[in-house]
Structures are given as C-alpha cells and as structure tokens.
Amino acid sequence: MPSTVRTLKLPSGEAVPVLGQGTWKMGEDRRHRADEVAALKLGLDLGITLIDTAEMYASGGAEEVVAEAVAGRRDETFLVSKVLPSNASRAGVKRACEASLKRLATDRIDLYLLHWPGSVPLSETVEAFEALKSQGKIRHWGVSNFDRDEMENLVSLPSGSNVQTNQVLYNLSRRGLEFDLAPWSRQRRIPLMAYSPVEQGALARNARLEAVAARHNATPAQIALAWVLMQDGVIAIPKAGRQEHVRQNAAALDIALTAEDLADLDRAFPPPTRKRGLEMI
C-alpha cells in the first residue's frame, strides 16, 4: 500500500486504510461496467484498497464488478460486503455469504456487515457471523446503520463485542451522530465507516464549501471528504465511477484543513446540539 494512505486499526488490531471505495449503483448498467472496473482498479493503484459493496447493490451486480476489479490482486484488497436484514437468520446469513463469495470470486470476505437492523434477533445474526468466521468464510464482522442504543445492545450480547465497525451516514450535512454515537464509538475504539461522505454528490455542488475549497486550490467535494477523513476513528468510503473523481478523492488525503477552515465549516454546517435519531439513506 502506498505510504500516502493513512490507516487505522480495527478492534482486532488489523490496520485498514482510512479511505476506501464505495460501489452502490455500480453493476446496474453493462455499458458502464468497463469504466467502473477501471475506476476501482485505479483506486487500488493509488492505495485505496478497501472496497465496500453489498449483496443488495444491483442485486449482486456490484459484487461482480468488484470481482473483476480485484482479479489477480485479491491479497492487496480488503473486501467489505453486507447481508440484508431479510437474510439475517442463521441459515440465511450462511446462504447469503456463500452467494456473495461466489459473485466476488473469492474464498473469504474481510469484513461482513449486517446492512441495517431488522427483525431477526441480533444474537442469532451474531452467532451466524461467528460461525462463518470459524469456517474462514469471513475474517471479521460488523454492522451498519446502528444508533447508539442498538450498539449498546449489540456489545452486551455474547460475542457482540467482536464488532469491528458500524457503517453509518456521515458527512458535513449529516452531523447528528456527533452528539452521542461518535463519542460512544471512539471511547470503545469501534471505528465508524462513513458512507455517502459527499452526500451522494450533493456536497460537490454546495456553494458553502467554495471559499474553503479556494483556499486549498481544491474542489468542494475534496473539502467535504477531507473533513470526514480528519475525524478521529472514521473511515470514509466515497463511490466514484469516474477516474478523475478517484484521483481527486485520493488527493483529498493530503488536504490539511486549518482552524479557520474548521470554524467556517462549523458555521456553515453546525454540529448537533441535541440527540437526533440516526439518519439513513
């Protein structure tokens, strides 16, 4: 991995890059497939070796795009995939994982997440994750879209404290979790994985980022991403189907926001002053 990509440690002690690549909306249209594969490969070349996908994305199509991008370089990548809550039973998790492994053309998923909380008892899903771990089909497991009370419940379950991350909606325009989920997670050294870090492209067009962007000769999207990347214990996973965006996202790692920048950003995107329910896209 090029030394430019910082890493952070999962609770297991394993280091992962703080910048990864998202894949939602990939694999939906065959005409874009070559560009999507090329974008992911460029990301790998730049050291952005964590790739986030899910059985849900393009009904498995995104996992197939990922398989093509990592072919021949599986060992340098850290693959994250997710199981739908409707598949979160003991038998369902096993089946879903095997189908994901097949589409990903690999023998193991590095980090397997429950996509959002559902109706299957969480203890059953955790047991299923632990069974997959002991079979070597997944190396770690985690959750997604869990608010603080749901995390507290999770860590109280047998093996629940083996959770390696909580993947959540977090960006300048979605700061609600800073009120309690973020400090709670930091204190327990459970990294948050920030999805939609540029608000699905909306922050790239946000005029309130332009002044800070101009000071760094950067784009608004790069400032939005640099801000997420400087949060302690946070991994960001922007999705970029265009190679130009992949390069810009990698370059955002080198943007050092100043105290003046942060004060301006806090004025434009105020931090929360009270508890709000965790937002989801």
Q: Report the C-alpha gap between 98 and 31 in whole angstroms.
A: 27
The smaller minimum CB distance to ligand NAP, of residues 186 and 247, is found at 247
CB of 134 to ligand NAP, least distance (A): 25
Amino acid identity, residue 83? V
DSSP per position, 162-198: G---EEEE-BTTB-GGGTTHHHHHHHTT--EEEESTT
Question: Closest residue to ligand NAP, Cβ-based?
Answer: 22
Identify the active-site residue in 57, 112, 170, 195: 57
**Within 149-208, which residues bind ligand NAP (CB under 6 A)?**
167, 195-201, 204
Fill in the DSSP letter of residue 107.
Answer: S
Q: How many residues does the chain have?
A: 281
Residue 129, token pair as written in the block: 């994750």
Residue 67, token pair as written in the block: 């398989």
Binding status of residue 22 toward ligand NAP by CB under 6 A: yes
CA-wise closest residue to 31 among 249, 241, 247: 241
Pattern of binders to ligand NAP over 91-120, x per CB under 6 A? ------------------------x-----
Member of 10, 17, 23, 125 binding ligand NAP (CB under 6 A): 23
Q: Which regions of the chain does DSSP assign to beta strands (E)?
A: 7-9, 15-17, 20-21, 50-52, 78-83, 109-114, 138-144, 166-169, 192-195, 234-236
**Within 51-90, which residues bind ligand NAP (CB under 6 A)?**
52
The smaller minimum CB distance to ligand NAP, of residues 221 and 255, is found at 221
Q: Report the C-alpha gap between 280 and 85 in whole angstroms.
A: 15
Pairing relation of β-strands 7-9 and 15-17?
A: antiparallel
* Burial degree of 187 (CB within 10 A; 0-12, 13-18, 19+): exposed
Residue 238, token pair as written in the block: 């922007």
The smaller minimum CB distance to ligand NAP, of residues 89 and 145, is found at 145
CB of 40 to ligand NAP, least distance (A): 11
Binding status of residue 140 toward ligand NAP by CB under 6 A: no
* Residue 82 main-chain phi, psi, to 5 deg: -135, 145
Q: Which stretch binds ligand NAP (CB under 6 A): 19-27, 121-129, 150-158, 258-266?
A: 19-27
CB of 2 to ligand NAP, least distance (A): 19
Count of residues interacting with ligand NAP (CB under 6 A): 28
Is 57 catalytic? The answer is yes
CB of 161 to ligand NAP, least distance (A): 21
Binding status of residue 281 toward ligand NAP by CB under 6 A: yes
Member of 190, 206, 239, 269 binding ligand NAP (CB under 6 A): 239
Number of other residues whose CB lies within 10 A of the CB of residue 118: 16
Member of 5, 24, 92, 209 binding ligand NAP (CB under 6 A): 24
Q: Report the C-alpha gap between 230 and 254 in whole angstroms.
A: 10
Judged by the rule CB under 6 A, the positions of this chain that interact with ligand NAP are 22-24, 52, 115, 144-145, 167, 195-201, 204, 219, 221, 237-242, 245, 248-249, 281
- Catalytic residue numbers read 57
